[in-house]
Amino acid sequence: MKKILLYTLFALPMAVMAQVDRSKAPKPGPAPIVKISEPAIFTLPNGLKVFVVQNTKLPRVSATLTINRESIIEGNKAGLTSIAGELLRRGTSKLKKADLDEAIDYLGANISTSSTSVSGSSLSSNFPKVIELMSDIALRPAFPADELEKIRTQALSALAQGKEDPATIARNVTSKLVYGKNHPYGEIETETTIKAVTVDDVKKYYTTYWKPNVAYLVFVGDITVDAAKELATKYFGSWSRGMVPAPVYKAPAAPAKTFIAIVDRPSAVQSNISLVAPIQLQPGSPDAIAADITANILGGGSSARLYKNLREKYGFTYGAYSSISEDKLVGNFTATAAVRNDKTDSAIGQFIYEFNRIRNEVASVDEVSLIKNERNGAFARSLENPATIAGFALNIARYNLPKDYFQNYLKNLATVDAAKVKMMANKYIPANNLAIVIVGNAKEIAKGLDKYGIVKYYDIEGNEVAAPVTKAVAADVTAESVLQKSLDASGGKAIATIKDVETVGTASIMGQSLNLSQKYIVPTSFVQNLSAGPMSIMKQSAKNGVYTVTQQGQNMPVGDDDKEELDEEAALVYENVYLNQKGYSFTLKGIEQVNGKDAYVVIIKTPKGRELTNYYSTATFLRLKSSKQEDAGPQGKVTVSTYYNEYKTFNGVQIPVKMLLDQGQLKINIDITDVKINQGLKLEDLK
C-alpha cells in the first residue's frame, strides 16, 4: 500500500503536466485582492509634507527630500540645474567638501544629491546624525566656486565623449526636434551653455525653487512616526516657505507628416534609428496601464513583435524596442534599434509595418496574457520593498492620483484585453506623424528613405544643415601620394634624425586620470605603460622582435596582429612603415569630414591581413583619425577610432600630443605633457 501511495503521488503531477498545453500562455485568473499599507503622513507648519513607512526588518533608515517643482527652460545656460544638483553635495556653510565626505564616511552612510533631491541612508543608530548632514546640505549649501569648475570640467569631458556616441547624438537631436527649443524637454547641453553657468546662476536657481511648501520628505525603515516627526521638525522646521514659479508650456504637437532627420557620421558602420512622437498621456491616466501593455506587446523585449521581426526574422539588429511613456508635461511614443547601414531602409519599413499591424489587427490572447502576467508578477514583487509603499504615496500626492490608484492596479490590469490594446495602439502609436532620427553614414543610408517622408539633415546639436556633398578627388591624387605627403608633413627627412623618444602624459577614462609613459628606440623598439601610481594597469612592448603585453602584471597572449601593430608603433611615424615595408596595400576611398575638416580617406591593408582606415587632412596632410574593426564578442564587430586632435613639433617632427581613443562606450582622452628627444636611451631603459 505504501509503495502504491508513493507511486500515485509521484505520477499524479506528471499526469497533470501532460495535460497542460505549454504552447499557450496560461489564461489569467481573477485579479488578486491586495492590501497595500499606507504610510503615516503629516505636514509641518512651513508646508513640508512628510511620509513615514516603518519597517523593522533591518536596522537601517533612508530618507529622501524631493522638490516638486515644474520643469524649467534653462535657455543659454542649459545644464544649470544638473550642475546645481551636483554642487549641492560639494560643501556647506559649516563643512567643506572634504570634511563633509569624512563625516559621511565615518557614519557608514550614503548621501547623494540632484537638482531636486537630497537622499541619505545609514544604520538606524547613526541616522539622526545623517539627517542633520542632509539638512545642512539642503538648507545651507556653500556652492564653492572651485568645485563648480571641477564639475564644469567633468561635464565638458562628458560632452566631448558624447559627440562621438551615436546614442547620445540621437537622444539630443530627437529631443530638440520633437519638443522644440521653447520646451524644457527640447533643450540640450552644449559646451557654450555649460561654460555660461556661474555660481550666481546656481544660487538664483536654489533660492527660487528650493522651498518646503513644494517639497516632500520621505522616511523608510527602522524609525517610528514620532521619531521621524521629531527629526523633521528639528532639522527642517525652520526652513522658510515661499512662492515658487509654476510655468505653463504649450504642448508639443506631433509632426503633421513623418519626416526623416539624418545626422551624418561617415565612419559609422551601423545606423541608430529612433522613431518618436509626442503624446498626451498623464501619469495615472485611465489609459496608462493599457498603453503600457500595448507598447510591450509591440517592443517590450525578446518576446515582442519588433524583436521577433527585426532580429529573429530578418537579422537586421541585435534588438528592437518600443515604449509609451506617460509624463505630466508631455509623454512620448518611441521605438529604437541599431541596424547595419545596408539595412536601414528595410528596418524602417518593418518598424512601420509593425506599427500598422498592431493598429489594424487584434492582438492574440496569448500576447496580451504574457505581458499582463509579467506586470502582475512585477507588481507583486515590488510590494516586498518598503520603499515601494513610499513611492506609491509620493506619486499619488505629486500627480493628484486617486487614493486607491495602486490598490486597484491589479484590478485595472485585469480589464485589459485585445480590443483595448487595439484601441490604445490607434490612440498612441502614430501611423504617419513620426520624427525618424537616424545617426549614421548618410552616403550609405540615405537612398530610398524619401518614400517615408521628407529627408532633412542635422548636426549633432539638432541644427539643420545642408545635405553632405561628395567631394571629388583630383585625378593626380592617389593613396600613395597622400601617404607620402603625410610622411613629408610629419617631418620628412627629419624623422631619420630621431633616435629615441620619451613621452609622459595622462589618460583620462570615465573621469579617472591615469599616468601614461612611452619610450621609443626608433624604429625597432617601444614600450608603453598605463599606470595608477606605482601599479601598472597595462603594459605593452616590442624590443627587437620580442613582444610582451601585460594587464595588471599578468602576461597576455600576443598574436601576429598584435606584433604587427607594435612594430608600427615602434616606428613612431606609421606612414614610414606603410610606404617602406613590403606587403602593405592602399586604396583611396574619397574625401570625408573629420570634426568639420575635409580629409582624404585611405584604406590600408597590412601584410597580416589587418585593415584600417586613416583620414588625412586635405589641408595639412597630417593624420586626423584612424579607425579599425575589432571583435566585441556577442556584440559583433565594433569600430575603434583614434582621433589626433593636436600636434606639436619636436626636432622637426610632428608628434600628436592630444588624442581621443573612442571604443564605443569607452572613451579615453590622451594628453601628452612632456616629450624628450634623443636622450641616448638604451634597450635596457625600456622597462
User: Using an 8 Å Cβ cutoff, are 355 and 303 in contact?
Assistant: no
CA distances, 403 to each of 39, 387, 399, 453, 472 (Å): 12, 17, 11, 45, 68
- In a domain, residue 183? The reply is no
Q: How far apart are CA 601 and CA 615, in angstroms?
A: 5
pLDDT reported for residue 25 = 53
DSSP 415-476: T--HHHHHHHHHHHS-SS--EEEEEE-HHHH-TTGGGTSEEEEE-TTS-EEPPP-PPPPPTT
User: Using an 8 Å Cβ cutoff, are 606 and 583 in contact?
Assistant: yes
| C-alpha closest to that of 550 among 566, 528, 534 | 528
31 SS3 class: coil
Three cell numbers, residue 341: 547601414
* SS3 of 381-411: HHCCCHHHHHHHHHHHHHCCCCCCCCCCHHH
pLDDT reported for residue 639 = 77
The side-by-side arrangement of strands in the sheet containing 317-325 is 317-325, 331-340, 270-279, 435-440, 259-264, 454-458, 464-465
Q: How far apart are CA 393 and CA 399, in angstroms?
A: 10
Q: What is the largest CA-CA distance in the chain?
A: 100
CATH classification of the domain holding 674:
2.50.20.10
The continuous run of DSSP H or E covering 373 comes out as helix 365-382
In a shared domain, residues 351 and 460? yes
Number of domains in the chain: 3
User: Using an 8 Å Cβ cutoff, are 344 and 291 in contact?
Assistant: no
Q: How far apart are CA 682 and CA 198, in angstroms?
A: 52
The continuous run of DSSP H or E covering 130 comes out as helix 127-139
* DSSP H stretches of helix in 261-341: 288-299, 305-306
Find the Cα–Cα–Cα–Cα dihedral 288, 291, 293, 295, rounded to 10°: -130
- In a domain, residue 53? The reply is yes
CATH classification of the domain holding 125:
3.30.830.10
- In a domain, residue 392? The reply is no
| C-alpha closest to that of 91 among 100, 82, 83 | 100
In a shared domain, residues 452 and 495? no
- In a domain, residue 218? The reply is yes
Q: Which residues of the chain have pLDDT under 50?
A: 1-20
Residue 633 per-residue DSSP state: G
| C-alpha closest to that of 684 among 481, 536, 527 | 527
pLDDT reported for residue 18 = 39
Three cell numbers, residue 331: 509623454
* DSSP H stretches of helix in 50-122: 80-88, 97-106
For the chain, helix (H) and strand (E) counts, in that order, are: 20, 26
In a shared domain, residues 429 and 300? yes
Q: Is the pTM value of this prediction over 0.85? A: no
Question: How buried is 583 (Cβ within 10 angstroms: 0-12 exposed, 13-18 middle, 19+ buried)?
Answer: exposed
- In a domain, residue 661? The reply is yes
CA distances, 180 to each of 273, 598, 613 (Å): 19, 31, 37
* SS3 of 522-547: CCCEEEEEEEECCEEEEEEEEECCEE
In a shared domain, residues 534 and 622? yes
Beta-bridge mates of residue 529? 517, 539
In a shared domain, residues 570 and 442? no
- In a domain, residue 4? The reply is no
pLDDT reported for residue 470 = 77
Q: In sequence order, which residues have a C-beta less than 8 Å from that of residue 3 and are 6 or more positions away?
A: none
* SS3 of 207-276: HHHCCHHHEEEEEEECCCHHHHHHHHHHHHCCCCCCCCCCCCCCCCCCCCCCEEEEEECCCCCEEEEEEE
Three cell numbers, residue 343: 539595412
Q: How far apart are CA 176 and CA 434, in angstroms?
A: 14
pLDDT reported for residue 34 = 63
- How many other CB atoms are found less than 10 A from the CB of residue 199? 17
In a shared domain, residues 135 and 63? yes
- Domain containing 483: what range? 479-685
- In a domain, residue 14? The reply is no
- In a domain, residue 474? The reply is no
pLDDT reported for residue 12 = 32
In a shared domain, residues 271 and 202? no
In a shared domain, residues 457 and 487? no
In a shared domain, residues 484 and 590? yes
Three cell numbers, residue 225: 512616526
Pairing of strands 259-264, 435-440: parallel
The continuous run of DSSP H or E covering 360 comes out as helix 344-360
In a shared domain, residues 437 and 490? no
pLDDT reported for residue 32 = 60
In a shared domain, residues 376 and 444? yes
In a shared domain, residues 430 and 522? no
Establish whether the linkage from the previous residue to 144 is cis, with ω within 30° of 0: no
